[in-house]
A and B are shown apart, each in its own frame.
Chain A
């Protein structure tokens, strides 16, 4: 085994990739019916950001992640990863993108690892396409990649002997093996105990900070969300809100719509008439109640 040293590689690509979507729509067929998983998502994630996608089950989080990875093609709208418009990319371009710049971590550590290989061999396998594309010299040694997630001592151990937390770290190492500009992670901590969860998140944050990799992860765990500097809530196939540093915001869409937070929607039933009032620099939302007026903060 080579000496466990701190990664000394120099990122060849811009450290992180900017992610932008415009009016993203994704429709799929299920038992003969068309279902809109996403219906107009506008999103912007800056290069080097670490963002969490939140939302209830079926909201479209994983679908959005797959669209950002180029696994799905959108039914409408555009997806930009860096300068590449994924919706217009050829299969070869998508393969090249996934080989070098975009990495997708699937839910469940096992799905990200070849079960018969050790962590180091898995990392090496993940680097193979990048090496073939001429980026070999830029890539870190597998052992360094594993050291980067804290698996220096598990590089050659069979996967079956690793704990769930270490498995997830191994999956993270594999995902970061080619030093991608964008890491997309689907529920990376969903099957982990708290300690392991925190460890994985901490490692991801470290990689994000040290390497500048843009990280978009899907989670429905509030604790995970609270760990993230920015969260985007997907609700009913749209961006339903955004959290920054623990504070929740509603987001006005480019066409002027404003999704109401769930607790407001409980009060303002569909069909309710409302007025906006500007009072002391603040907007007041006033439902029409036939006399008495209720006030909601936006």
Chain B
């Protein structure tokens, strides 16, 4: 210890560095494990109870013998091996039985159940919870829908006999219940919500909710209840399940799948989503297995390299002491022992604080990055990492000591250590450079991937740092000499000083490697955040989206106009997703609002693109009234069947009601041979209907040909004539296979149609207000069967509609790939929203008040909000993943890398300060002023720091380009990729700036401290 008391700064710096190295090694397994535990908890807590629970069921065999009952639920519960029991809460035992009410029409059927402790988890609204065999409690809805009030006796079907016939059982209603809200007792199964819902098939029978009954009802053989299943439901115990237990769930489900209750004991089934959750956790662990080593191993290696260089400097400083030992008869081994006796205890002394530091850092970093609960476990990987760190520390110390101790005595005795006269790379450094360079080159040409390749930033930093360190020495020397020759004494002296000092090479190498890591860390961190944000925006679609029940688009639009008359804060969006993998869906939007509200990760398309979606600029023919009539004149229209028999032609209108409902309305028949007729009928168009088409229909396979003029279209009761022309407001139709329709008109009021059917029974002339070709924006490839830019898209009615791609989108917000975007109004013309349509409201901001107002307005119009989520909700799902947590370590790595750089500067100064201050004192002796001495002392390290930071930045950027494609950014890749691995130059600049400021300030402080100690007495110092 005396030796270290003599050099306390060195001792502190070496301990700090060694502790940091140990902490880097020990932190990785601690954080890795803590992350796994948090991930497990997050996955389990985020999963629906039905998924995270284990439901065991024994079902009555199909050839059930009434003399034998279903196995007791305790036996079912016991099928779960004790190994796994601790992961679950005590099981909820139960029976399920069938209960079809007899003697009522329509039939009422459903389940009667018992669950252990059920009465504690329902609210008894009337009566009491059933306690005796034959008693039941029914839901409030059943009481209301079916009149099953307490006191009612229900005659229900009993257990089937050997003949398959069921007897009857009398059950007495003793109470009505309501499930307690937010109660996990039912583990995702809902006792209510079925009352009054139709049953399967066409029987007309309806369901009742679960009836609750005590256990005795099922186990009383005299009662004869139709007992079908015994159950045991295990809720997962979040506090008891760690990652180890989680990863055993697959074995558990395998074991349960093999359970056989025995002959005639019925079938056994285990239902759970835990195995899928375990797979998810395992997958994310596998991902983080790449990222965590990528970051922390490089930091560990950096600290090893720094420690190695620092120990080299320290052992170099011990040369006179080693020489003395050799002169006193110590062998090389003895001299080495002398060094080791000094260095090993101090480095190993750092192991314990390093381990403690790692433990504390895990709490701090884990607390900052990981959601609660944070679990930090001291397991064998942690111990192994600490031991590894100790071994590496001892090894590095041994190597550094050997280097000096093995030198011949005559070299050790020289006051100035011998240097190579010319530039040369040491053997170790050459091997290091060659190895790291070879791996980098192999990786860059695509021959390598995986964790080794992910170390690219560190490897490139090593190559660049070591080579540059060697090149800088002769360069600085030549520059210094040139500056001196030009009379620039201060600068020239500083450069020569830098060139002469081995510390310069060390600093360049260390700062380059560390800066590469800092830059890469900052880049990776921001790229990760940016991609998660982009993916969240893409998936969410808008800052907030509310999914709606039903397809009442008109009501939705009305409600939204009340809440947001400007249409800038909320907009309706209708999605039609036809079944089938990869089928192109349609997103119907209000383009002006959608452009402003939707989140486009890559930026919204130009406004001109959206303007192409506009509906045809044609005034609609609006009919308002409760009856319509129209005159048909000058008709030559004839229809003849295949056998030559003339047949009348049916004429009708296609209308769109103000509510959006389409009406395919028949006006009447044009009799055979008639040249004119007046057709009419009552309609429900008092709120206004739009005439979208005129159609003609004849007998199947009959021909139809001729012309007819429509005029004097009148909607009662106004009696005013509605103009049908001019003809250019109608879309001519011509197709060889399906006939043709050609409109013409002599006045704006009438419309003459010449038509020919091509064998089809019905043919329609559409008004131009209805688009014949919907302009659309396509993302991805056009659907199969497209021709040029024309293709068939799914209309809002679910039917195929002709469309033309007028532009493309990289991705459609909130939508899967291959989505077609079109104008909602255009799509609405002549079509009605299909039941498969999913309506939603997209909001410009995640404003809860806005959501509440909208929900209320929608409710006033009979539309319910089913679900609402914000982009932050989606972002959270991306952030709470092992991939994100691993990558966020980059922030820690960056900070520590800067710290290590700074520490290296301090140690470098501390290990050579006596010689350095003597040099400065000599300059003072030769007349150089104090201020100049200070400037020179400060400037001595700056060139090396600057060169290192610049080289490290380049190495880090290059390394990031190579490594980032291999870094997992997401637990599961988003359906629509928004991957953007471009360099985050802003973050890089900040990181470089911080490095420069920290190292610059460090250099100033160190330089000033050295200058302050450069007293003339130093020149007399012989110690």
Contact = CB atoms under 8 A, between A and B. Distances in A.
18 contacts: A31-B421, A69-B327, A71-B409, A91-B331, A95-B329, A95-B334, A103-B328, A111-B323, A112-B324, A114-B324, A126-B328, A128-B330, A129-B334, A133-B329, A159-B1023, A160-B1023, A164-B1022, A178-B329
Contact of B330 (A69, A95, A160): A95
Contacts of B2: 116-117, 121
A110 B410 contact: no
Interface string B1-42: 011011100000000000000000000000000000000000
Tell which of B2, B421, B1021, B1023 has the most Cβ of chain A within 10 Å. Answer: B1023
A56 interface: no
B329 A99 contact: yes
A130 B329 contact: yes
A112 B326 CA distance: 11
A191 interface: yes
Interface in B313-332: 320-321, 323-324, 326-331
Interface in B281-330: 320-321, 323-324, 326-330
A78 B329 CA distance: 22
Contact of A128 (B3, B326, B328, B1023): B328
Contacts of A128: 328, 330
A115 B329 contact: no
B321 A114 contact: yes
Contact of B413 (A71, A92, A98, A160): A71
Contacts of B5: 116
Tell which of B5, B328, B331 has the most Cβ of chain A within 10 Å. Answer: B328
Given A98-B326, A106-B413, A111 B334 contact: no
A99 B1022 contact: no
A125 B1022 contact: no
A150 interface: no
A72 interface: yes
Contacts of A117: 2
Contacts of A130: 329
A100 B324 contact: no
Contacts of A14: none
B334 A115 contact: no
Interface string A83-117: 00000000110011111100110101111111111
A66 interface: yes
Label chain A's interface by main secondary structure: helix
Tell which of A69, A72, A95, A191 has the most Cβ of chain B within 10 Å. Answer: A95
A183 to B, nearest CB: 12
A108 B329 CA distance: 20
Given A111-B1022, A116-B2, A117-B2, A100 B329 contact: yes
A103 B111 CA distance: 105
A115 B327 contact: no
Interface in A142-173: 159-160, 164, 167
Contacts of A121: 2
B6 A92 contact: no
A130 B421 CA distance: 39
A120 B413 CA distance: 23
Tell which of A71, A92, A121 has the most Cβ of chain B within 10 Å. Answer: A71
B159 to A, nearest CB: 95
B1022 A109 contact: yes
B331 A95 contact: yes
Contacts of B326: 95, 98
B410 A66 contact: yes
A121 B330 CA distance: 16
A115 B6 contact: yes
Label chain B's interface by main secondary structure: helix
B328 A108 contact: no
Contacts of B1023: 110, 115, 159-160
Contact of B1022 (A66, A91, A103, A191): A191
Contacts of B334: 95, 129
Nearest to B2: A116
A98 B328 contact: yes
A167 B1021 CA distance: 12
Interface of A: 31, 66, 69, 71-72, 91-92, 95-100, 103-104, 106, 108-117, 121, 125-126, 128-130, 133, 159-160, 164, 167, 174, 178, 191
B319 to A, nearest CB: 11
Nearest to B325: A125
Contacts of A97: 329
B1022 A116 contact: no
A279 to B, nearest CB: 50
Contacts of B320: 111
Interface string B325-359: 01111110010000000000000000000000000
B327 A104 contact: yes
Nearest to A167: B1022
B410 A72 contact: yes
A70 B5 CA distance: 34
A69 B334 CA distance: 19
A111 B3 CA distance: 16
Contacts of B7: 116
B1022 A110 contact: yes
A129 B3 contact: no
A96 B329 contact: yes
Given A116-B3, A117-B2, A191-B1022, A111 B329 contact: no
Given A106-B327, A178-B329, 11 more contacts: A72-B410, A97-B329, A98-B329, A100-B329, A103-B327, A104-B327, A109-B1022, A110-B1022, A113-B324, A114-B324, A115-B6
Contacts of B324: 106, 111-114
Contacts of A129: 328-330, 334
Contacts of B421: 31
A73 to B, nearest CB: 9
Interface string B378-421: 00000000000000000000000000000001100100000001
B424 to A, nearest CB: 15
Nearest to B320: A111
Nearest to B1021: A110
Contact of A125 (B323, B328, B410, B1021): B328
A31 B7 CA distance: 36
Nearest to B1022: A110
Nearest to A98: B329
A117 to B, nearest CB: 6
A174 B327 CA distance: 11
A126 B3 CA distance: 16
A117 B321 CA distance: 12
A177 to B, nearest CB: 8
A112 B320 CA distance: 9
Interface string B901-935: 00000000000000000000000000000000000
Contacts of B6: 115-116
A108 B1022 contact: yes
Contacts of A31: 421
Contacts of B329: 95-100, 129-130, 133, 178
A158 to B, nearest CB: 9
Interface in B111-133: none
Contacts of B3: 116
Contacts of A72: 410
A174 B409 CA distance: 18
A272 B2 CA distance: 64
Nearest to A96: B329
A90 to B, nearest CB: 11
A279 B858 CA distance: 143
9 residue pairs, one from A and one from B, having the closest CB atoms: A99-B329, A110-B1022, A116-B6, A129-B329, A98-B329, A115-B1023, A116-B2, A116-B3, A95-B331
Contacts of B328: 98-99, 103, 125-126, 128-129, 174, 178
Contacts of A113: 324
A71 B410 contact: yes
A62 to B, nearest CB: 10
A111 B414 CA distance: 11
A215 B657 CA distance: 126
